[in-house]
Amino acid sequence: MTDFLLRIEHVHKSYKHVKALDDFTTELKNGVYALLGPNGSGKSTLMNILTQNLRQDEGEIFLGGENIRGMGKRYRTMIGYMPQTVDVFPSFTLYDFLMYMAHLKEIDRKTACDQIDRLIEQVELEDYKHRKLGTFSGGMKQRALLSQSLLGNPSLLILDEPTAGLDPMQRIHIKNILTQYASNTCILLATHIVPDIDGLATDLIFLKQGKIVSQGKTERLKKSLDGIFWEIPLTEDLQTSSSAQFRVVRYVQRDGQTFARVFSAEKPCENAVSVNAEIEDCYYYHFEARL
Amino acid sequence: MKYELKKLFSQRFFLFFMLLLLAANCVLAYSAAPSDKAWNRALDDFWTCYHAAPVYFDTQYDAYTTAREHAISMQIEAVLRGEDPEKYAFEEPRTISPDSGYTDVEFYNALYGRKGYGERYREKLDRILTDTENSLQVVTDPYMTEYLHEVRATYTAMYSLSHSENRISGWDAYFAYDSMGILLLFAVVAAAWLFASADSGRGTEQLLFASTKGACGVVRQKILALLVFCAIGTAVFEASAFAMFCTKTTFAGADAFLASAESYLLCPYAVYIYEYALLRVVIRFAVLFSAGIFLLFAARMLPLVFGYPAFFVAFLGIQYAMKNSQTTPGTAYRALNLFYMLEPSHYFKRYSSVDLCGRSVPFLPAGAVLCAALLIVCTVLLLFQWKKTPKRKRFMPKFPVFLTYTPRTSFGFECKKLLISQKLLLPLILLLVIKAMICTAAMQQSVSYREQIYRNYMLTFQGLTIDETERALEQEHKKFLGLFAASEENSQRYANGEITYTELLASNLKKRTAEKKYEIFLDVKAEYERIQSLSCQGINAELVYGTGWKKLLSGAPDLLLLLVPITASFAYTAENKAKLRPVLHATPGGRTRMFLHKLFICNAYAVLWCVLFGLADLWWISETFTLPVWNAASASVPELADAIGVPTLGGAFFAMLAKRICMTSILTCTAVCIAQTAKSFLASPLVCFAGIFAPHLLSLLLGGWTKYLSVPNLYCFPPLPDPKSIPLAVFCFGIFAVLLFKTIRKLSAD
């Protein structure tokens, strides 16, 4: 297994007067990269550039030292892409759809058949193999799309909100599938559902207005925020005034008591207990607390 | 209801569209409104006619009756006196009997030079005057003489009026008047579509249907909103046109002009101004509202691009059914204004939105009945099928075998996608059925008198050697000349008292029949002489059957083959709708390879339709024509035919098929390219534009042979003679406008 290395260098992309990506530079290796940011931060633009559906205004992208612009088909053979919820071809059966995608990915028929059977089994859609996609529920469509992105064992898997609209079991299921592939695939995953990447993402990229706000290994980023998040048990007098007194990240219910998870550089009150930062806290820190 | 209207008017592009239509309406009305000067001139002309002809049609009939009654009384008196009553026998003046009198509409057409009428009726007037003069020379009866003098005065006035240069431009008024109807129809189409699709967002409809008002309440509100829209639209359009009219003319002239009760036919604006205005507005409103309701339901069930043609196809289908259900043509037949199957111009002129929204008074029964019928059908479908059938299956043809088959190649997948996404497959199939119906009707068509004569000539002359043909033509010519000379001689003999007046009339009748035949003979002779001159230049050509097809085939379904490239561009619909293109483009074969495969499949699909239509043509030709050669090709591009000579029937057929395939393929490639490079929904209007207007522009700019590059010429088999025919363009333009509208909507949504 060769080491995968995708280098994105100084990529700029603007839509009229809006900067979607502003001097975006990073390196992607095998592992799960979670792309986090509010709406309009440039996540989808980056994905579209990586899938060559958009062309950057400036900057280059190199795969193993070779500019992807000149690689054409060779590059696209190595990628798998799953966009946000789409309707797929309603009149195609799941098998048709995957077979069609296999054709487009130029996978020979025999290999395609094997892979399709395996993937359908992985995403637990065996019973729906010959059902039309138009009859699929949102979750089933997501799984169908995920399976198509995994066709051909891509080295770079680009997933745009793969768990949107799924029930908890399906989200766990997709998470498990991705974990299986994480060791030898570079997975770039954009999502708004932060808990979904907890335990999955090896790296986090925080994107704001097209710029990287922060980037690094998940654990390191979480550790770097230790000591600034606190939990305060809510007493009666604090019930109503907590949000005014502290910068509350969220409220947590535990053992019949409500705790306010607050952000503060210093201990906010006597009974506040320091807690380890989670990914959601990181998100809060980068997009709210810094404001 | 006001929320429904808000949904409609809150869309800026729709407001823009309405303003555009309104502006067009004003411009057309203003440009066509006659000035005071024109009114005065028209008034002068009218009074000239009016005073010169105190006896009009009624008086004419009175005079005729009086003369006949007088003759009968004279005969009775003669019998009583013991004389021969035959001496006083009433001699029927052939050309001016009440049956040959013009109707008001014909008179109007004659005066205002309506397309195809003016010349013909002026000729007719001319002939009547000549006949009257001749009759005056031979008739001795004083009552009859007086009657003929009156008739002469009437027709002289009509004749001078028909040749007057001071006429109001009938065509201008006609065009503006019709355009208003069409513009309004477009507005209603757009509104109906928006009313139907405003709630099409994911889950929106379910949300609304789950409200207290429920589905019925929501639909009722939409219908009410449409009603209000139609009422406001009609009022605004009429008022703006009227305002434009007022800016150009004061009513002094118009009032005087309209004072005559029977003069309203002389100008369509009469309908505008006085008591007919309200009637017209009400009728227009009713027709538009009916159309809107139909489209509202059609658009709910089908895509608009389908709904609009379906609207017309349904009309034509019902008209056709009505025609077939009529055992004897009569008042009902005329009132319903039935399917004039075999003449494309009539075919469209009578059933297009023009008639339904413009001169709709005589056609109201047809419009109302049809709309009501369609409404009932739609409602029934809606009630019984709508809720039970999944959305994607509604009205769509099923391909159970095809759907279960998983293609083995990319070609197969593209083909499957194309056919599955064929929203317009059904209209195309319908078109093919209509085409087959037309071909069948053409086979059953009884040949007209003129056609019969021509056919007989061609059967006689074709296949003869050059010398034989020449001799036969010469012989026939001599026969005619002899007949005419005999007629002249008989006139002389009558004047000398050698023959009776009845014998003279019989001779004249023979001459008249011969004259009809002679005209056709001269055409044939002229064609022969043209061929002879070509032969002298070394070009091999022969006398061929050169008419009949104009009446035997309607080019309409052929024209609508334009739908094929449009539907081909839908090969991208599924992936575009699903926003799947980025995924496909991210695959190695999802770009060039997929595009080439699509291009190939779409062209194959287009060719298939051309061949299917060609087979229908071939079936008709093989069943109908017994003549060995046919000049369809020479009719389509005469210069080409002159250069390469006349092909055989098979050759002509394949040439036309090739031409049609080329045209379709070019447009298909354009559509697919546009759909690939831009967005698929852009392809349809651009292809329509390219197909309809680009050839006209090209011929305007380059002239010469490019004038044959029109859609009717390239698509229709045989090619249509008048590529600029307004009624034909109206239909195509209608589709174009709808697609354009859809595009604007899409663009604004994006």
Residue A85's pLDDT is: 63
Evaluate whether A152 touches A102 at the Cβ level (below 8 Å). Answer: yes
**Is the pLDDT at A187 greater than 90, yes or no?**
yes
The alpha carbon of residue B677 is apart from the nearest alpha carbon of chain A, in Å, by 12
Put simply, the answer to whether A53 touches B588 (Cβ < 8 Å) is no
Q: Is A90 on the interface with B (CB under 8 A)?
A: yes
Q: Is the pLDDT of residue A120 over 90?
A: yes
Please check whether residue B350 touches A, CB under 8 A.
Answer: no
Residues of A in contact with B596 (CB under 8 A): none
What pLDDT sits at residue A60? 92
Instruction: Report long-range pairs for B738-742 (Cβ below 8 Å, ≥24 apart).
Output: B738/B186, B738/B189, B738/B304, B738/B305, B738/B308, B739/B305, B739/B566, B739/B684, B739/B685, B739/B688, B740/B685, B740/B688, B741/B17, B741/B186, B741/B189, B741/B190, B741/B193, B742/B193, B742/B304, B742/B305, B742/B681, B742/B684, B742/B685
Q: Which residue, A35, A39, A40, A4, is CA-closest to A19?
A: A40
Query: What's the average model confidence in pLDDT over B382-395?
Result: 48
Contact state of A109 with B413 under an 8 Å Cβ cutoff:
no
A148 to B588: CB separation less than 8 angstroms, yes or no: no
Q: Is A87 on the interface with B (CB under 8 A)?
A: yes
More confident residue, B686 or A12: A12
Question: CA-nearest residue of chain B to A90?
Answer: B574
Token pair for residue B457?
Answer: 């000539």
Mean pLDDT of A74-88: 82
Section A77-103 average pLDDT: 82
Distance from A40 to chain B by nearest Cα, in Å?
A: 16
Range with the lowest mean pLDDT among B50-54, B309-313, B536-540?
A: B50-54
Contact of B27 with chain A, judged by CB distance below 8 Å, is answered with no
Question: Could you tell me if A262 and A229 are in contact, meaning their C-beta atoms sit under 8 angstroms apart?
Answer: yes
Least confident of A112-121, A193-202, B62-71: B62-71
Q: What is the mean pLDDT of residues B435-444?
A: 62
Q: What percent of chain A has pLDDT over 70?
A: 95
**Band of pLDDT at residue B355, cut at 50, 70 and 90:** very low
Within an 8 Å CB–CB cutoff, is residue A62 touching chain B?
no
Q: B589-599: per-residue pLDDT in tens? A: 887 788 888 88
**b/e B271-288 (16+ beta carbons within 10 angstroms → b):** bbbeeeeeebbebbbbbb
Question: Per-residue confidence at B435, pLDDT binned at 50, 70, 90?
Answer: confident
Highest mean pLDDT, choosing among A162-166, B1-5, B60-64: A162-166
**In chain A, where are the structural domains located?**
1-78+154-213, 89-150, 227-275
Q: State the pairing for strand pair A31-36/A203-208.
A: parallel
Beta strands in B509-601 (DSSP E): none
> For residue B532, is pLDDT > 60?
yes
Distance CA(A52)–CA(B245), nearest Å, equals 59
pLDDT at B714 over 60: yes
Q: How confident is the model at residue B720 (pLDDT cuts 50, 70, 90)?
A: very low
A6 to chain B nearest CA, in Å?
Answer: 16
- Average pLDDT of B164-179? 43
Domain ranges within chain B, ordered by starting residue: 2-34+178-393, 38-162, 404-446+547-749, 463-536
| More confident: B42 or B37 | B37
Interface test with A, best of B202, B583, B601 (most A CBs within 10 A): B583
Q: How far apart are CA B579 and CA B560, in angstroms?
A: 30
Q: Which two tokens stand for residue B262?
A: 């029977």
Evaluate if residue A157 carries a pLDDT over 70. Answer: yes
More reliable by pLDDT, A117 or B673 = A117
H/E stretch holding A11: strand A6-15
ipTM surpasses 0.85: no
Nearest CA in chain A to B413: A100
Sort out which chain A residues have CB atoms less than 8 A from B420's CB and list them. Answer: 89, 91-92
Which pLDDT does position B422 carry in this prediction?
Answer: 56
Q: Does A14 touch chain B (CB under 8 A)?
A: no
Q: Give phi and psi for A128, each to the nearest 5.
A: -110, 15
CA-nearest residue to B406 within chain A is A96
Task: Please compute the mean of the pLDDT values over residues B205-232 and round it to a whole number.
Answer: 70
Taking all residues of chain B, what is their mean pLDDT, rounded to a whole number? 61
Asked whether the beta carbons of residue B578 and residue A134 sit closer than 8 angstroms, the reply is no
Per-residue model confidence (pLDDT) at position B97: 36
Which of B45-54, B257-266, B567-576 shows the highest mean pLDDT? B567-576
Closest to B425 in 3D by CA, of B545, B596, B242, B605: B605
Cα distance from A146 to chain B (closest Cα, Å)?
A: 11
Residues B177 and B611: their CA atoms lie apart, in Å, by 40
Average pLDDT rounded to a whole number, residues B504-531:
76
Distance of CA A247 to the CA centre of its chain: 27
pLDDT surpasses 50 at A173: yes
Alpha-carbon gap, residue B672 to B687, rounded angstroms: 10
For residue B547, the SS3 value is coil
What is the pLDDT, as a whole number, of residue B393? 47
User: Mean pLDDT, to the nearest integer, of A280-287?
Assistant: 84
Residue B309 has a CB neighbour count (10 Å cut-off) of 24
Q: Which of B94-108, B368-382, B504-518 tops mean pLDDT?
A: B504-518
The answer, for A15 touching chain B at a CB cutoff of 8 Å, is no
pLDDT at B553: 41
pLDDT at residue B8 above 50? yes
Mean pLDDT in chain A?
A: 85
Over residues A141-161, the mean pLDDT reads: 89
Which residues neighbour A76 within 8 Å (Cβ) at sequence distance 6 or greater?
A51, A52, B586, B587, B588, B590
Most confident of A205-214, B430-439, B533-542, B698-707: A205-214
CA distance B565 to B668: 4
Residue B270's pLDDT is 37
pLDDT for position A59: 92
The answer, for A53 touching chain B at a CB cutoff of 8 Å, is yes
Residue type, A277: A
**Cα separation, B208 vs B204, whole angstroms:** 6
CA distance B313 to B691: 21
Q: What is the pLDDT of residue B95?
A: 37
Between the ranges B156-165, B543-552, B597-606, where is the mean pLDDT highest? Answer: B597-606
Distance CA B134, CA B511 (A): 14
pLDDT confidence of residue A228: 84
pLDDT above 60 (res B725)? no
Across B366-394, average pLDDT? 48
Tens of pLDDT, residues B612-640: 888 877 776 666 554 433 444 455 565 66
What pLDDT does residue A203 have? 92
Assess whether pLDDT exceeds 70 at residue B299. no
- B293 compared with B295, residue with greater pLDDT: B293
B53 or B467, greater pLDDT: B467
Of A155 and B115, the structure prediction assigns the larger pLDDT to: A155
Among A29-33, B189-193, B311-315, where is mean pLDDT lowest? B311-315
| Neighbouring-strand partners of residue A227 | none
- Specify the amino acid at residue B132: T
CB contact under 8 A, B580 and A89: yes
Q: Is the pLDDT of residue B116 over 60?
A: no
Mean pLDDT of B149-160: 62
352-411 in B: which are within 8 Å (CB) of A? 390, 392, 403-404, 406-410
Instruction: Give B690 or B555, the one with higher predicted confidence.
Output: B690
- Residue B14: pLDDT band (50, 70, 90) is confident
Q: Which of A229-238, B71-80, B129-138, B694-703 has the highest mean pLDDT?
A: A229-238
Q: Is the pLDDT assigned to residue A149 strictly greater than 70?
A: yes
Higher pLDDT, B686 or B363: B686
Q: Which CATH class is domain A1-78+154-213?
A: alpha beta
A105 with B417: Cβ contact below 8 A: no
| pLDDT for res B453 | 74
DSSP for B393-445, written as a single string? GTTPPP-HHHHH---SSHHHHHHHHHHHT-TTHHHHHHHHHHHHHHHHHHHHP
* pLDDT computed for residue B425 by the predictor: 67
